[in-house]
């Protein structure tokens, strides 16, 4: 069976690291203790001059390619998940393509906010299975700091910037690679998590708006449901999972979801404390962190999951 196997991972964070205390020093009405108690976040990274979604994506992609040992001319597909592209068009994926020195490959952006990476992984997986390419770069990259309302202390402390990437290779395998993916969306909940601007409405970028309590409630229910769904589709049980690599939105959501499914919290990769919510970048960032520090090893059964604005949500089962 032709499957999409992860052969390399990489990530990138902006140089500027900002702690909770530094946010308070900027005049935001918050404290380190308040943020940690409600979210588990201690720091995040903000893009500076010259750092963009595409530049962070390119850095993460280069690291993933190095880890995979794959030359750039082998890449036939780039899918970049982002809600914060460098330009309205063309796609930031084409900027990454050019920066990497690839003259011709399929390259496009995909927008599903925090679930974007799961959507991108599923799309790339199906394109590789269909024979449209043999190697793909799947990237999640964001500069959410440029959407934040610094007067809204309930949201501006939650987000950060960054990028994560992986290289997929099509291989003949029975039980290695992407085993199953499941994706969902329900647009009725638009007003719970959205940006109040856009090209065809206000003509402005807009600012992020969120009703945190309602988002929390939906996240725990939807994530538990889709995790059960994707495990069933892959023919595996929760007890067989070596690592859960979740969207890094809020430590309380991670804990509540693990408890609802009966998962060992020690088997959940948590990096939200160090880089906050990086939207589409958070799952590949967490994956790369756990691969590089040795927690995730070849042969491990992984579950990746995320939920974001839309609402969108999804999950994947992967044999690493």
User: Where in the sequence numbering do the catalytic residues fall?
Assistant: 114, 247, 277
Backbone angles phi and psi of 93, in degrees to 5: -60, -30
The answer to whether 238 and 6 have CB atoms below 8 angstroms apart is: no
Instruction: Cite the beta strand spans of the chain per DSSP E.
Output: 2-12, 16-19, 43-46, 77-81, 106-110, 135-143, 161-172, 177-185, 193-195, 208-210, 243-246, 301-308, 312-319
φ, ψ for residue 106, nearest 5 deg = -70, 130
Strands 301-308, 312-319: pairing kind: antiparallel
Report the alpha-carbon angle 182-186-191, nearest 5: 140
- Closest residue by Cα to residue 62 from 124, 9, 140, 105: 9
């Amino acid at each position: 069976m032709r499957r999409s196997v992860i052969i390399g991972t990489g990530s990138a964070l902006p140089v500027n690291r900002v702690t909770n205390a530094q946010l308070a020093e900027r005049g935001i009405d918050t404290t380190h203790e308040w943020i940690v108690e409600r979210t588990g976040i201690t720091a995040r990274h903000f893009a500076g001059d010259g750092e963009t979604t595409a530049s962070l994506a390119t850095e993460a992609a280069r690291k993933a390619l190095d880890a995979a040992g794959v030359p750039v001319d082998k890449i036939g597909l780039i899918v970049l998940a982002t809600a914060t592209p460098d330009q309205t068009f063309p796609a930031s994926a084409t900027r990454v393509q050019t920066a990497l020195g690839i003259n011709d490959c399929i390259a496009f952006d995909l927008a599903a906010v925090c679930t974007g990476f799961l959507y991108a992984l599923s799309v790339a997986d199906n394109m590789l299975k269909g024979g449209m390419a043999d190697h793909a770069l799947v990237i999640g990259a964001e500069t959410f700091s440029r959407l934040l309302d610094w007067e809204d202390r309930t949201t501006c402390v939650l987000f950060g910037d960054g990028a994560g990437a992986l290289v997929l290779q099509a291989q003949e395998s029975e039980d290695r690679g992407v085993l199953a993916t499941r994706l969902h969306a329900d647009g009725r909940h638009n007003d719970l998590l959205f940006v109040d601007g856009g090209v065809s409405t206000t003509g402005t970028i807009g600012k992020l708006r969120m009703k945190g309590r309602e988002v929390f409630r939906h996240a725990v229910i939807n994530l538990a449901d889709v995790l059960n769904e994707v495990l069933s589709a892959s023919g595996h049980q929760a007890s067989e999972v070596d690592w859960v690599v979740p969207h890094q939105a809020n430590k309380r959501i991670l804990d509540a979801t693990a408890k609802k499914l009966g998962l060992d919290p020690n088997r959940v990769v948590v990096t939200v404390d160090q880089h906050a919510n990086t939207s589409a970048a958070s799952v590949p960032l967490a994956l790369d962190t756990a691969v590089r520090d040795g927690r995730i090893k070849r042969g491990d059964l992984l579950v990746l999951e995320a939920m974001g604005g839309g609402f969108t949500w999804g999950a994947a089962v992967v044999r690493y």
